[in-house]
């Protein structure tokens, strides 16, 4: 699990270098973002997935991207050294972080 968070922090740090509207102060901040996002995803994300189950079924799971975008926005609001400039960047970052997180979960 520690390796998972370390690698997810590296993914977030790399995304901050690639995406123009995503800013992270350093790798330490990216690691904090990974941990906070993971905790928010496990707690609030699970509750939101439960209540959004009809939308998840109707959209064949694509509504999960909306939920993950919202969770990433909450993470952005909580961490001062982590900034996402607009909704489009938040959505793209949420997609890439979700894909990376899923791949890391399969590996570790």
Taking only the tens place, the pLDDT of each residue in 66-86 is 999 999 999 999 999 999 999
Looking at residue 107, its pLDDT comes to 87
- In the predicted structure, residue 93 carries a pLDDT above the cut 80: yes
Taking only the tens place, the pLDDT of each residue in 24-53 is 999 999 999 999 999 999 999 999 999 999
For residues 21 and 75, what is the distance between their CA atoms, to the nearest angstrom? 15
- Token code pair at residue 18: 């690639």
Beta carbons within 8 Å of 10's beta carbon, 6+ residues apart:
27, 30
pTM confidence score = 0.92
Print the domain residue range for 68.
2-107
Asked if residue 29 lies in contact with residue 79, where contact means CB atoms within 8 angstroms, the answer is yes
The average pLDDT across 80-95 equals 96
The average pLDDT across 3-14 equals 94
Task: Count how many domains the chain has.
Answer: 1
Question: Higher confidence at residue 108 or residue 43?
Answer: 43
Which of 104, 93, 99 minimizes the C-alpha distance to 16? 93
């Amino acid at each position: 699990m520690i390796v998972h968070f370390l690698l997810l922090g590296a993914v977030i740090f790399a995304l901050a270098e690639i995406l123009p509207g995503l800013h992270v102060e350093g790798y330490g901040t990216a690691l904090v973002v990974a941990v906070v996002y993971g905790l928010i995803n496990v707690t609030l994300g699970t509750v939101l997935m439960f209540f959004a189950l009809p939308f998840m079924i109707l959209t064949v799971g694509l509504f999960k991207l909306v939920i993950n975008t919202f969770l990433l926005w909450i993470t952005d609001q909580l961490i001062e050294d982590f900034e996402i400039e607009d909704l489009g960047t938040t959505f793209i970052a949420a997609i890439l972080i979700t894909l990376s997180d899923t791949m890391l979960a399969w590996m570790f």
